[in-house]
Amino acid sequence: MTESYTIFIDFEFSMPQKKGMPKDFYPEIIEAGIVVVHNNEIIEQFSEYVRPKAFPILTSRCMEFLSITQDQVNAGISLEELVNRFNGYNERGKCKVVTWGNMDMKVLRDNCRKADLPFPFTGEFVDLSMEYKKFFGDQNQTGLWKAVRDYGKDGVGKHHRALDDALTTLHIYRLVEKDKQYLQNSATTTIGDRIDLSQLLNKFAL
């Protein structure tokens, strides 16, 4: 029997300076957070910085926004190492990838293409932000931490840290799935649920 895994992923990306950046600049993954779930249990957490290749020097805007340093990123793994890790998950069994928004997979796909690496995933993809939007009937997509706070819960750790955001995505996923099951299992109340028909029949039999 093939094992199945759900992988919650969040990336942080390099960012251009508002002025003076090359026209061919594109965002690269600089931090990866991964949470692997099997049989509803977390079996693995992974957090690592990733060295950008095309534009290795981070902008001051990026470092300030993400509270990240050049030294941290320089000490990170390569994109090839990250992709190899994802390939390892595929070898274990069937993978479903869950992200908040579609940007993570778009950037991963683009980074792989530019680095001449095969895109590692072939299974199901879930954009949880769209699932959340459809489930609650929102007109606009909601930010990750606003969504968890709308549930009356707190996010995990610090926003814009990849592993913390991946764990928060898992948290919301479980809340939404629980609500879906509740709605599916809720049957319409009938009059028989509200009164004891046996007592009523005995009353009229007297």
Known active-site residue 160: yes
Is the separation of the CB atoms in 55 and 28 below 8 Å? yes
Cα 36 to the center of its chain, rounded Å: 11
Name which of 138, 134, 149, 147 is nearest 183 in CA terms: 134
How do the residues of the chain divide into helix, strand and coil, expressed in percent and rounded to 5?
Answer: 45, 20, 35
DSSP sequence for 83-137: HHHHHHHHHHSEEEEEESSSHHHHHHHHHHHHTT------SEEEEHHHHHHHHHT
Do 11 and 32 form a contact (C-beta atoms < 8 A)?
yes
Pairing of strands 29-38, 41-49: antiparallel
Which one of the listed residues 3, 12, 48, 80 is annotated catalytic?
Answer: 12
Return the number of other C-beta atoms located less than 10 Å from residue 127's C-beta: 18
31 is catalytic: no
- Name the catalytic one among 38, 64, 160, 171: 160
Asked whether the beta carbons of 150 and 133 are under 8 A apart, the reply is no
Dihedral sign (CA 173, 178, 184, 189): negative
Q: Which residues are catalytic?
A: 12, 160
